[in-house]
Amino acid sequence: MRLSSPKINLITKLCMKASRSLIRDFGEIENLQVSSKGPGDFVSSADKRTEKILIDELQKAHPDHGIVSEEYGIINGSNISNRWIIDPIDGTMNFLNGIPQFAISIGYEENSEIKCGVIFNPISNEMFYAEKGCGAYLNNSRIRVSNKKKIKDALIVTGGPKYSSKIKDKIFSEYIRVSKNVSNVRKLGSAALDLAFVAAGRFDAYWQRELNYWDIAAGVIILRESGGFVDFIEDDKNFPLKKNILASNSNIHEELRELITKKDIE
């Protein structure tokens, strides 16, 4: 590891520990069709088991810290100055279908600012990590965002609307508008890894609406430390854990932001 602060060391060790059961669970996906458990129950138990490992270890190391997690909610909610933001399986639908594009995501926040984070894909054994002021890394190699200068040449990733979304038409309209102005758009199914891939220069930009904070907390610091820009667009202050995000390199950021926030002409 190129970074060796106490918090980065803690998070990376937790990811490695939690990944062992997650890899085992992923190997059982092919047996789901003959299991008495439904797929939803299987994924829920894998989520909760992974999350429990992470929470137990974080509480041992920092019992007074706050925790925001997908399954368990908010723990030690009175401490908003020091808290961990956890997603045990980001890319649950991929996990359920045996697609190895999912990750454990852990971010550490102080006074509403993400200070460090780790995103780990246990199947590909790729660990993305960063700490404020210290750069961003993939395993032992420094990573940087792409230097693509023209939006028409950009390869962009997004997530599209969820089934329950009430703004599907708005999101589809954005997708059409962006896809007409860029080289291509991909949809891979894990917000955490999408951000990590932009940080590593694999994609030139990423945007998505209606995300949960735990989906992207770690990715934000990794992206910024790799030289990228992050905007939270049109967020609802009544729901601070819901986010609309745009992330890219500096060259195409403003032009892409204008495309995404442009109002359609009736």
Q: What is the mean pLDDT of residues 6-18?
A: 95
Give the DSSP letter of residue 122. T
Q: What is the mean pLDDT of residues 69-80?
A: 90
> What are the residues facing 73 on neighbouring strands?
69
Phi, psi of 155 (to 5 degrees): -105, 120
Given this chain, do its domains 6-142 and 151-261 carry the same CATH topology? no
| CB 160, CB 171: distance < 8 Å | yes
State whether CATH 3.30.540.10 applies to domain 6-142.
yes
Stretch among 31-35, 142-146, 250-254 having the lowest mean pLDDT: 31-35
Q: What is the mean pLDDT of residues 118-128?
A: 97
pLDDT, residue 247, reads: 97
Question: What angle (nearest 5°) sits at the alpha carbon of residue 16, between those of residues 75 and 218?
Answer: 55
pLDDT tens-digit map of 179-229: 999 999 999 999 999 999 999 999 999 999 999 999 999 999 999 999 999
Q: How confident is the model at residue 13 (pLDDT cuts 50, 70, 90)?
A: very high
**Coil, helix or strand at residue 98:** coil
Q: Where are the domains of the chain?
A: 6-142, 151-261
List, edge to edge, every strand of the sheet that includes 205-212.
184-186, 155-158, 205-212, 242-248, 229-232
| CB 222, CB 129: distance < 8 Å | yes
For domain 151-261, give the CATH number. Answer: 3.40.190.80
| CB 16, CB 27: distance < 8 Å | no
Q: What pTM was computed for the model?
A: 0.92
- Give residues with Cβ within 8 angstroms of 164, minimum separation 6: none
